[in-house]
Amino acid sequence: MPPDGRAFGCHLMTMPWPPRCHWVPSHDHATKCCPHPVAGLGTPVVTLTLVASPGTGFMACHLSQLLRSSYIFLFQLPWLPELLLSLADFELVRTALTGSWLGIQNAAQQLTEQEVDAYLYGLSQPGGLTPPLNYYRNLFRDTPIPREPPPLPTLLLWGAEDAFLDARLVPCLRRCLRPTARLCLLPGAGHWLPEDQPRPVARLLDHFLGTGDHHH
């Protein structure tokens, strides 16, 4: 597990939930990466929450998703993605966060200029773009993809208006998850689900983690 992964796990994935359980969040194309932090926790993991996470295998089977995910292939190149994303004061990143199609769809939750600037401040520091891009560069590593569904009660959250990840993939994920997995498609929500629909997402997580839905 890379050092960045250890730091991430220390702050988020090792947060104790009685009794000795963990909420392991996954996002985007992270179904391939997820087993690594899970395996490195060293304590029982009892639930898995996925936020718009189709897995890299779906790109090969669904042309619509292959087109939407084409940026991932650009991100495999060295230094060029960092250069392109930083041009014109990070205009491409701004568009992804605030654009009418790519950005937050909920008008009441759209980011303010100050919030966008705060987000971009970290990316604008020397080397600030490389760690998030490395997330995508690691997707095609020679890591075996588990053939069996995750042995954990699972909650999948997905925005119906996600511009990056085709919502039509959600039913296809059934065969990759346990029969008891909960799949929740949030109408009107875009890719940035926790920011777009904070209250519905919080309610779904609270219900899943706190009412016994994960004790199937």
215 located within any domain: no
Please tell me the predicted confidence (pLDDT) of residue 42.
Answer: 53
Give the tens place of pLDDT for each residue, 188-207.
999 999 999 999 999 999 99
Residue 204 in any domain: the answer is yes
Do both 129 and 158 map to the same domain? Answer: no
CA gap 132, 191 in Å, rounded: 16
Residue 36 in contact with residue 1, Cβ under 8 Å?
A: yes
Q: What is the pLDDT of residues 11-42, one digit of tens each?
A: 222 222 333 333 445 555 444 334 444 445 45
CA dist 99 and 201 (Å) reads 22
* Residue 129 within a domain: yes
pTM beyond cutoff 0.85: no
Task: Let me know whether 45 and 85 are in one domain.
Answer: no
